[in-house]
Amino acid sequence: MLATDDCEDKLIWEVAMLMNILGQIWFNKNKARFDWKYAPAIRAVATRKVYLVMITEFVQIPQPRDFIKINIDGMFKGSLHVFACEAVFRNCKGEFLCGFPCPLHVKTAFATKLIAVILAIEHASIRGWTMLWIECDSPLTVHLCNKRLLSPWFLTHRWNNCIALMDSMTTRFSHVFGEGNGLADSLANLGATVDSFTW
C-alpha cells in the first residue's frame, strides 16, 4: 500500500510541476509581449527530483521606425474546399492601419500564404509604403520570399511582378509562430465567409 501512495505522490508532484512550468511560461511570454520585460530561463524544483527547464527567451524585436509590419496568414479547410488569405498592416507603434481577408480558389495551403504575400505587397505599393516587414507562420513561404525563389507555376507571372515591386522597396521577411499571428488567423477565417476581396 505504501508503494501505491508513493506512486500517487510522485504523479501529483509531476503534474503540479508541469502546471507550474506551463503557468510560468505563459506569464513570462505575456510579460515580454505586453510589458517589454524579458524573463530569464525558468527553473522548476520539486522536492524529490530537480527539474531544469531550458526555455529560449521570448523576445519581441521592436519594429524599426518607418516600417509597416504586415502579418499574413492563409486558411484552408480541405474537406470543405474553402481557402482564404489575409493580411494585417500595422505601423511602427503596433497600431492597426488596415487589413483584408480574401477568399481564394487554390488547392494548397502554401499557395494561400504566397498569394497573401503578393496581395499585401501590391496593396502596400499602391499606398506608397516602401518599407515593409512581413511576418508569416510558414517557414517555406518566408524562405521563398527571402531568396526570391521560383513559385508554383500558376503564380509565376504574378510572383515575378511582385519580385519587381520588392526590388524597389525595403522588405524584410520573418517567421512568426501561430500564437503571435492571432489577428491574422482570425481575419483568414473571416475570409472564408466573404464573397470577394474586402479591404
Mean pLDDT split into 10-residue runs, the chain, 199 residues: 60 75 73 59 44 53 79 74 80 84 81 90 93 88 87 86 92 78 61 60
Write down the pTM of the prediction: 0.65
pLDDT of residue 23: 75
Q: Which domains occur in the chain, in start order?
A: 2-52 (no CATH), 68-191 (3.30.420.10)
Task: Say if strands 43-45 and 68-77 run parallel, antiparallel, or are unpaired.
Answer: unpaired
How many beta carbons lie within 10 A of that of residue 20, not counting itself? 16
Phi–psi pair at 62, nearest 5 degrees: -60, 140
Cell of 24: 510560468
Cell of 161: 511582378
Tell me the residue length of the chain.
Answer: 199
Q: Which residues of 70-102 are buried (b: 16+ CB within 10 A; e: fewer)?
A: bbbbbbbeeeeeebbbbbbbbeeeeeeeebbbb
pLDDT of residue 106: 81
pLDDT of residue 151: 79
> Which string of DSSP letters, residue by residue, matches 45-113?
E-SSSEEE-------PPPPPTTPEEEEEEEEEEGGGTEEEEEEEEE-TT--EEEEEEEEE--S-HHHHH
